[in-house]
Structures are given as structure tokens and as C-alpha cells.
């Protein structure tokens, strides 16, 4: 049973397209996150949601919009994709907002051509 | 600002040899520290964590790490490396607000036979 799952695993698309990445956790956690891993493998927080409420919104372009339909799901929608959006996007969850341990999904590898 | 430094970008170790990956952090209070491993094309797996108490913590896959406050370090060790340990290793600290992880830039471990 996968604790944190993401779909799709790979996503190849053209510049200017709009795409979504889905994340689901079956751990019963309240808090979910999106991290971006760039081409140099550097990981950085993008968003954090606690019980469907936005907690963190780092300096991410407005083209990125997270949506949490319920506390088990956190989706990431990206408008007008750019070459620089190519990266691996990781979803994670923790038990609570201040939860000490974050559990990561397998990642979604996005390539924008 | 909080930060995590992994001084070694790439390390090569012979199979069966011991391993130490370095991690230094900057944080005012007692940090919550983590080591994650990312195998090629895979997600992030939690190896071990330190919150408080015994400064030597044991993790999965035979890894351990030692928290040294005086040196602001949390180095990862393994007494005997296996070829399957070849991966990217990330040290992370929870941010002061408790809302996200701050990652180091990672250390790539290669294992030679």
C-alpha cells in the first residue's frame, strides 16, 4: 500500500500547455506539501496545505496553483508551462502542521519541450 | 537564515568500505534533522531522524548519524557500504516555523567494486 502516491510519474508536454499533477496520501495526515527538485537536484518547498488550507506559498509564479479538495489530496495545476518548469515535483505529507516527519511520494518528472 | 550544507558533492567508496557523509546546519534552537536517500529515478526515502535525546540515531539499511551541537553537524555513517547504497543523499532540517524542510544540495554516492 503506497502511503503517498503521485500521478503521473512522467509528464512530457509542450511550452504553453496547462497540466496537472495529482497527489494522494492514505496516512490520515493533516498536512501536505509540494516540493520542486531542479536539474541540479536541489529541493525547495513550494506550497504547504493544512487541512485543506494554504499555509505556505513560497515565491512561486502565479502560474502554479495548488488545490486541496480534501485533506488526503493535494493537486498542482500549472498554467502556461515554460521550459524552466522542467523538474521533479515531489508531494509529501506529515501528521500535523508542525509534524516532525514528512513522507514523500515517488515524484513526478515533468519535461517541458 | 537557516541553511544546510553538504560539503561533498560526490563521494566514491569501495564496496565493503566505511562511509561518512557530512552535513552542517545553521539553526538557533535545537534542530529537527533528517537524512533522506534518493535512488536513481526514485522518490525520497527517510533514512533516519533526530529530534532530541540520544545523539547517535540508528536508521534503516544499517545507517546511523550523530548529532554534534558543538559542530552544528549531523553526519551520516555506515560501517560497510553495499553496491545498492549508490544514490543521492540529502540532509534536511525542519524550518523554524515547523512548516517545511530545508534541504542541503545533496551528496552523490558512487560505490566501486
CB contact under 8 A, B94 and A100: yes
Q: Is residue B1's pLDDT more than 90?
A: no
Contacts of A105 (CB under 8 A, 6+ apart): A4, A5, A6, A23, A25, A90, A91, A92, B43
pLDDT at A8 over 70: yes
Q: Cβ of B83: how many Cβ atoms within 10 Å? A: 11
Domain that holds residue B49: 3-112
DSSP-derived 3-state class of residue A42: coil
CATH number at residue A64: 2.60.40.10
Q: Which of B42, B90, B99 sits opposite A97 (nearest CB)?
A: B99
pLDDT digits (tens, 9 = 90+) for A47-72: 998 888 888 777 789 999 999 999 89
Residue-wise pLDDT tens digits, B8-61: 999 999 999 999 999 999 987 779 999 999 998 888 999 999 998 899 999 999
Q: What percent of chain A has pLDDT over 90?
A: 77
Q: Are A22 and A105 contacting, i.e. CB atoms less than 8 angstroms apart?
A: no
Mind listing the pLDDT tens digit for each residue in B67-82?
999 999 999 999 999 9
Q: How many domains does chain B have?
A: 1
Question: Which CATH number does the domain housing residue B22 bear?
Answer: 2.60.40.10
Q: What is the mean pLDDT of chain B?
A: 94
d(CA B19, CA B111): 10
Q: By residue range, what is the domain housing residue A91?
A: 4-112
Using CB atoms within 10 Å of the CB of residue A69, give its burial: 0 to 12 exposed, 13 to 18 middle, 19+ buried.
Answer: exposed
Contacts of A46 in chain B (CB under 8 A): none
Number of domains in chain A: 1
Chain B residues bordering chain A (beta-carbon distance below 8 Å): 32, 34, 36, 38, 42-46, 49, 51, 88, 90, 92, 94, 98-103, 105-106
Amino acid at each position: 500500500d503506497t502511503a503517498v502516491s503521485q500521478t503521473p510519474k512522467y509528464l512530457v508536454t509542450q511550452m504553453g500547455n496547462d497540466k496537472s499533477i495529482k497527489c494522494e496520501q492514505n496516512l490520515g495526515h493533516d498536512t501536505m506539501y509540494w516540493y520542486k527538485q531542479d536539474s541540479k537536484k536541489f529541493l525547495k518547498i513550494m506550497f504547504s496545505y493544512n487541512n485543506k488550507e494554504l499555509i505556505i506559498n513560497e515565491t512561486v509564479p502565479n502560474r502554479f496553483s495548488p488545490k486541496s479538495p480534501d485533506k488526503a489530496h493535494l493537486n498542482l495545476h500549472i498554467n502556461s508551462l515554460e521550459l524552466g518548469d522542467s523538474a521533479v515535483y515531489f508531494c509529501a505529507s506529515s501528521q500535523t502542521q508542525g509534524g516532525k516527519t514528512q513522507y514523500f511520494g515517488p515524484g513526478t518528472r515533468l519535461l517541458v519541450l | 537564515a537557516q541553511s544546510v550544507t553538504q560539503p561533498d558533492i560526490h563521494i566514491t567508496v569501495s564496496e565493503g568500505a566505511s562511509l561518512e557523509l557530512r552535513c552542517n546546519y545553521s539553526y538557533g534552537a535545537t534542530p529537527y534533522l533528517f537524512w533522506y536517500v534518493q535512488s536513481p529515478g526514485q522518490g525520497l526515502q527517510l533514512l533516519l531522524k533526530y529530534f532530541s535525546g540520544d545523539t547517535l540515531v540508528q536508521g534503516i539499511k544499517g545507517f546511523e548519524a550523530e548529532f554534534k551541537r558543538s559542530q552544528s553537524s549531523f553526519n551520516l555513517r555506515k560501517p560497510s557500504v553495499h553496491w545498492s547504497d549508490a544514490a543521492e543523499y540529502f540532509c534536511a532540517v525542519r524550518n523554524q516555523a515547523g512548516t517545511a524542510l530545508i534541504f542541503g544540495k545533496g551528496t552523490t554516492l558512487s560505490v566501486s567494486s
